[in-house]
Structure 1
């Protein structure tokens, strides 16, 4: 086994604000406020935590049987390409536990076959439908379980979507923390109800792809030494970026993935303020924290800072070197990592495992990420263990029906002057490459790293292989043929002569399909290094729309995109009779959009983000050029909580379509707002202390007991083991300075296992924070009447003005989707909790309801708020 030097293993993870080259005094002041103070020790599990007690008992019984080597094996990944999944931890054969499989992705099982491709989180969020979010999560959890996956690496709340150009925004839900919080919580519940552990990611501040990893940036020619630092102040952290992760913890999420970037100049996977204080202490997270792939930068420091599992295990892909493995074994043996910490790591992993209903005797992993061949080496990089690696298990069930429904109901009707719904049009002309297929096949571009044909998925690790892809062209042609319509399509953006000749004919209804793509930073598509270069349509899409609409008086535009695009130049044309945003729809793309266009589904999607008039109107952007010399690029989140609609409201900048906006084929009216105050009692800060950190038995300190047992099994090339090469600790560590103590490397209290004081904002055995935060203080009702002639779904939204000088004008706090028949009235019912009404007090370090006047609004979007009332 190879080992990193122990100095790297011990290197301090303490945050620092230092050496910011070329920064102005004003910038330095802002960055000094965005501090990340050390917080130790790492909190250990609470045996009585709500929803975790039974799993804790099972995990304790299991972990108490483990040897030190088995605990290290459970917490350390086996290495990149070492086994079948994108990441696996070591197995415990003695107790019958196979290797745990960690696998992508947010839209389906990555790199497999006979799996489904679901709509993106962003598209599903546009349904504003809790039930559909949960159903999607359950179906994804079922498919993952059917493949033998232990942990599905999603859902996503980071990025939340600070900048609309952010490459992976489509994997998440919305730049609004409440909508994202509902989205992530419902998805987690669904995934874990299906028997798979969910992983909330990326924790935290991972808001752009540029410079997220120094090595990746160097590959693009940037000369930086460290990854980007997202500099976030305490108030913004709590009121925006941490909010949905609190909902994830409250939903019982089993794992959280820490991100690549630094936060306030400390790497997220060794930032004790983030992991120990905010996540495990304040929010009471009981599951395990795993690193993103190669996001671990230290050994003992990351363990002390709260990291519980390292993925994929090696320091860099295919090096065979590890910060943990051998080094973690040595660290526990010499006292650098206390016994209680390795026990808590293992306990958290196994508690999450048992919480979702798993038993030790799990069925085997039946697919291989590295190859679709039926037979091959199970240890891919070593080319060892030739056997059947893919069993081609079909896990799709009837999920195609759900996917079709999700994508249709997540489609947002932005404009309609009466051309929709279609009713057997005489002549339908479909225009644009986005309507057609990728001529090389839907899976021909690795990790979907291209924009050929219709856009149904972004690119990167958040992808999956299509089992099929229904294009808009094929679905619309089938509908046209069934209706007896004339149908022609031109599936390119660059045939102006032919397109003009087609759409200039009489009786034409022209549907133009356009798109804008993005994805993960390791793939560059047409100069877009993950993040989008701009907010315009791709492949000459804007000119295509303007040209077709100049030639045809009935032009319908369908946009597939990973976020907002600029429609300023053409949206208001009288010849553009309808605009629809169909997001990232997944495998049923064509069927879903056909259902909406023809009125089989009355659209009720609502935009999960704001459509600005200009790029500058958003007030935020991606940092595309390093701004700190060769040091870590510094991204100051100086806008605070004012992103998306909150910024547009504050700055009064021009917008086209507001957050929460969407039309229907029917109409609704709002009336009769009522507010009822609840008798919830006062807020009670948490007091008291934890129990002492538990340990589960002594272990041998004889180093010969930890040497690789070559007589039992052969060494696999680049596989990460917990064993030592030799019984000499200094030689095993490969570090000439081996022997220095934890006190010389780790901050004070890092190894302290004594009872610790509880934070006033933390819950006492209640994950998600102080349980009083979730008391309902007000119930709000309003009447919604369908004033049109068609049955339809309305999405009433509850907004709140917190009333403070530094607060947004309004913030979303609740919503619902209600189906109402023509002429009928339904009641919208919403609630406001104490958390909803509170601000984070940076002095008290708790949530506080201010004395400012608070006003509640009910309406159909963030800018159309018909009803309001002042709260007593």
Structure 2
């Protein structure tokens, strides 16, 4: 056996870039300030008290080797899940399973394929967001998963072409924050730890990893740096992660890319300063897979769990494992830090589980075969590894409901809902099946047939996929309609002959796909090359609508597409965005088209007329020599509808837009001021860092117990293979003290001052931020003839010259019978009305006049009132 380590594991003390980093080009690089020490858990944190007590009792019994085992991944493909940490068999805890994905269980069978986060956000329905999270949690627990790697607020959606926007919710931080909070609460109520990811500024796929970029022919030596100013960080990108913390999320995943030229998984400003100190996060931070770039330095910066454990896949080499054991023994990593790492993991565990007695992991990510090696990479331990447990329950009904209620009716001149059409013609590859099967492309890395999820690690295997063609044909047969479909985009003469006939209602299905950067499909390296429809979809729509005067267009996509060339054609009588609907795709769109579900989806992003209209865009070419590409977020808080409003640019369909088969009237806006107290900055200090055990200094106590169990190839262990610490570490710098290369205060265990913006005992920031200052009400009347769900949206103007025109702050979903009136009630908290003061380092309500607006979308705000 061999335990080796790259030099950076212990020698790297640069946890944030130096103030004047080496210039790889003429530009001066942005800088991320150091923040130390790493905050330790607060035993009195709201919602964490019982978990802390149980975790302390457990961790107090653990040895150093067991703590290192708990914090270090066992290595890529070493066991059954996409990531696992070492077990604590002496205390009855099996290996914890970390597994993808945010829309279902990746690589398994007999699980559900849920609608994407983006499609779920389009429902504007908190209840459905919670129920989806709960169902995903149920399925994960049924497979033996302990941490499900989702939900997603990074990417937020800065650029519409970014490949993984569909995994998250919306470029609006409030809508994403609600999606995060409800999903987390649902998942954890089902007994599985949720993981808020990717923290933070992870807004594109290009240049997120050096090896991946080099594989595409880009000569870079460091990953992309997202350069974000303090105000933008707080008011935009950190906002939904604060909601995640406030919801009690158990884990965070730090991201691949750098922020202000410091890697996300060793960025002390992000993990120590923003997340654990300011937001008071009590759970644990895990690295994205291979996103850890240093050892002791990452621990000091706030990293709590290394995933998947090895420095690079299948090397058997780890920054932690053996080296973390040595780092604690020689004082480089203080005892309180390893204790805090273990405490955070076990507190998150006990927050959702009451006992260490867990059901076994009953699947293998690496194969669907029933039998195989339990240690996949090593090819060892042949046994039954897949039990093919069916965890779907009745979730198909929920999936169908979410996908239907997340469908956005963008345009309708009267052709919908369908009512037993005489002749229905369905056109386009996106209506039909993948001829090789819905799971035939690894991690969905293709665009064959109907699009119901994007590609990458955020996917799941379909248990089945109902195509629009199958569902619509079944409905047409039931109604006695004539039905024909042409499931290709490239049969122009046959399509013309079909749709040119009399009495035809033509439905054209088109799509645009994207995903994670390790898959390159048709030159789309995760991020989309453009915002046009794929497979000549625009030509298909224009052709069919030129031949048929009643053409309906259905779009499945991972974000907005450019539709300016055809959307206003009088022959196009309806346009629907159906997002990424999951396994019930055909049934859900049929429910909407035929009126079984009155559409109530609202667009979670803006449909701009041009790509340039969005302002920010993907950085496709390195701009810093062979150094880290520099992506400057110069637009600040102005993304999506905020940018369009600032530029006073016309849009095709605005954020929040969506039609119904009935009509609604808004009236009688009222505001009531609350008797909230004065904002009080947090004061005081933390307790000293607690420790939970003393460690033997005898290195013989840490040697690999070769007589007790065999060594597994490439498996990451906490043990030493020699009592010579230098040889055990493989680090020529071994022997230096922490003071020689660790930043100031990195190992300080004394009481620390509380930030004025922090929450003391309230995760999510200063609790006064969440005081309700105003309650806004409005009357919503259904003036049509059928029952419908309306989505009143509450926007605010903060009034300052550097503020967006309006920002979403609350919303509701009201089911209203014809002729009836319901009251919408929205609340505005202190946070909703505040700006981040970069000098004071706190939230402040400015003296500018504040206005509240209630309406149907970001640009249809018929009611307004002054907040005084």
TM-score (norm 1): 0.99
The 5 A counterparts of 1:194-273 are 194-273=190-269
SS in 1 for 2:340: helix
Equivalence for 2:96: 100
For 1:531 and 1:18, the matched residues in 2 are separated by: 29
Mark the runs of 5 or more structure 2 residues left unpaired by the alignment: none
Equivalence for 1:374: 370
Using the TM superposition, give the Cα deviation of residue 735 of structure 1 relative to its aligned residue in structure 2, in angstroms: 1.9
The 5 A counterparts of 1:219-368 are 219-368=215-364
Equivalence for 1:18: 21
- Residue 611 in structure 1 maps to residue 607 in structure 2: yes
For 2:733 and 2:765, the matched residues in 1 are separated by: 42
Equivalence for 2:617: 621
Equivalence for 1:848: 844
The 5 A counterparts of 1:409-424 are 409-424=405-420
For 2:568 and 2:233, the matched residues in 1 are separated by: 38
SS in 1 for 2:833: coil
The 5 A counterparts of 1:25-104 are 28=28, 32=30, 35-104=31-100
- Residue 591 in structure 1 maps to residue 592 in structure 2: no
Equivalence for 2:422: 426
Equivalence for 2:526: 530
- Residue 781 in structure 1 maps to residue 784 in structure 2: no
For 1:624 and 1:266, the matched residues in 2 are separated by: 21
Once the two structures are superposed, residues 765-816 of structure 1 have per-residue CA deviations (whole angstroms, 9 ceiling, x without a partner) of 1000000000000000000000001100000000000000000000000000
For 2:337 and 2:729, the matched residues in 1 are separated by: 20
For 1:808 and 1:565, the matched residues in 2 are separated by: 24
Using the TM superposition, give the Cα deviation of residue 343 of structure 1 relative to its aligned residue in structure 2, in angstroms: 0.1
Equivalence for 2:9: 8
Equivalence for 1:513: 509
Equivalence for 2:707: 711
For 2:193 and 2:11, the matched residues in 1 are separated by: 31
Using the TM superposition, give the Cα deviation of residue 20 of structure 1 relative to its aligned residue in structure 2, in angstroms: 4.5
Would the aligned equivalents of 1:6 and 1:733 in 2 still touch at CA under 8 Å? no
Once the two structures are superposed, residues 411-443 of structure 1 have per-residue CA deviations (whole angstroms, 9 ceiling, x without a partner) of 000000000000000000000000000000000
For 1:18 and 1:450, the matched residues in 2 are separated by: 41
Displacement over 6 Å in runs of 4+: none
For 1:15 and 1:425, the matched residues in 2 are separated by: 65
For 1:717 and 1:322, the matched residues in 2 are separated by: 13
For 2:156 and 2:44, the matched residues in 1 are separated by: 32
SS in 2 for 1:46: coil
Would the aligned equivalents of 2:10 and 2:731 in 1 still touch at CA under 8 Å? no
- Residue 836 in structure 1 maps to residue 832 in structure 2: yes
Using the TM superposition, give the Cα deviation of residue 10 of structure 1 relative to its aligned residue in structure 2, in angstroms: 2.9
- The equivalent position to 1:569 in structure 2, one of 565, 569, 582, is 565
Using the TM superposition, give the Cα deviation of residue 746 of structure 1 relative to its aligned residue in structure 2, in angstroms: 1.1
For 2:595 and 2:584, the matched residues in 1 are separated by: 17
Once the two structures are superposed, residues 21-40 of structure 1 have per-residue CA deviations (whole angstroms, 9 ceiling, x without a partner) of 4455xxx4xx54xx421000
The 5 A counterparts of 1:752-831 are 752-831=748-827
Equivalence for 1:477: 473
The 5 A counterparts of 1:124-163 are 124-163=120-159
- The equivalent position to 1:659 in structure 2, one of 651, 655, 658, is 655
Would the aligned equivalents of 1:9 and 1:324 in 2 still touch at CA under 8 Å? no
Would the aligned equivalents of 2:10 and 2:734 in 1 still touch at CA under 8 Å? no
Would the aligned equivalents of 2:151 and 2:183 in 1 still touch at CA under 8 Å? yes
Once the two structures are superposed, residues 637-669 of structure 1 have per-residue CA deviations (whole angstroms, 9 ceiling, x without a partner) of 000000000000000123100000000000000
- Residue 110 in structure 1 maps to residue 112 in structure 2: no
Mark the runs of 5 or more structure 1 residues left unpaired by the alignment: none
The 5 A counterparts of 1:548-567 are 548-567=544-563
Using the TM superposition, give the Cα deviation of residue 127 of structure 1 relative to its aligned residue in structure 2, in angstroms: 0.3
C-alpha RMSD of matched pairs (Å): 0.8
For 1:648 and 1:784, the matched residues in 2 are separated by: 28
Would the aligned equivalents of 1:645 and 1:659 in 2 still touch at CA under 8 Å? yes
SS in 1 for 2:527: coil
Structure 1 residues 731-740 or 862-871, which shifts more? Answer: 731-740
Once the two structures are superposed, residues 466-513 of structure 1 have per-residue CA deviations (whole angstroms, 9 ceiling, x without a partner) of 000000000000000000000000000000010000000000000000
For 1:87 and 1:253, the matched residues in 2 are separated by: 19
- Residue 731 in structure 1 maps to residue 727 in structure 2: yes
Using the TM superposition, give the Cα deviation of residue 142 of structure 1 relative to its aligned residue in structure 2, in angstroms: 0.2
SS in 2 for 1:122: helix
Using the TM superposition, give the Cα deviation of residue 229 of structure 1 relative to its aligned residue in structure 2, in angstroms: 0.1
For 1:725 and 1:358, the matched residues in 2 are separated by: 36
For 1:164 and 1:640, the matched residues in 2 are separated by: 16
For 1:64 and 1:784, the matched residues in 2 are separated by: 57
TM-score (norm 2): 0.99
The 5 A counterparts of 1:621-700 are 621-700=617-696
Pick closer, same or farther for the CA change 1:23–1:595 going to 2, 3 Å. farther
For 2:424 and 2:8, the matched residues in 1 are separated by: 68
SS in 2 for 1:836: helix
